[in-house]
Amino acid sequence: MLVTYYRHATGYYAHQEGTLNRIRTALEAVDEMFADLPVSGFRGPHLKRLREHLVANRKCKKTGAPLSRTYVNHLVSAVQMCWRWALSEDLVPADVAGSLLAVERLRRGGAS
């Protein structure tokens, strides 16, 4: 499903290179951490674990600095967009997409 969504995104966001880069980065992170998990099994707690992993372990490719809160929020939103699309294509149950969409953004000051 991740590959199918990325193909869709490359057409839909063809002239938005930054958006496509964030989508690719987000989907790669999902695949790295949860490759063995069925798409319908990826839920809110998994997205929160992914978000924590991005904050703790990922670095900016250009500077080597930790990823910013804003960028991590963009990556989480990209994952949520993927599952929202999958719901619209009837590829995942509504409760799965709903669980992911309920995950809130990281807030200033470290509260999640």
Span 67-99, pLDDT tens digits: 999 999 999 999 999 999 999 999 999 999 999
Asked if residue 109 has pLDDT above 80, the reply is no
What's the pTM?
Answer: 0.91
Percent of the chain with pLDDT over 70: 97
pLDDT (tens digit per residue) in 38-73: 999 999 999 999 999 999 988 888 899 999 999 999
In the chain, which residue ranges form alpha helices assigned H by DSSP? 2-12, 17-34, 44-57, 69-88, 94-101
Q: Tell me the pLDDT band of 111, cut-offs 50, 70 and 90.
A: very low
- Do residues 63 and 95 touch, judged by C-beta distance below 8 A? no
Residue type, 23: I
pLDDT for the residue 110: 61
Is residue 33's pLDDT more than 90?
yes
Q: Tokens 């990823």 map to which residue?
A: 67
In the three-class reduction of DSSP (H, G, I as helix; E, B as strand; rest coil), residue 41 is classed as: helix
Residue 28 confidence (pLDDT) above 60: yes
| 3-class DSSP assignment, residue 68 | coil
Mean pLDDT of 95-110: 91
* Residue 59 φ/ψ, nearest 5 degrees: -125, 155
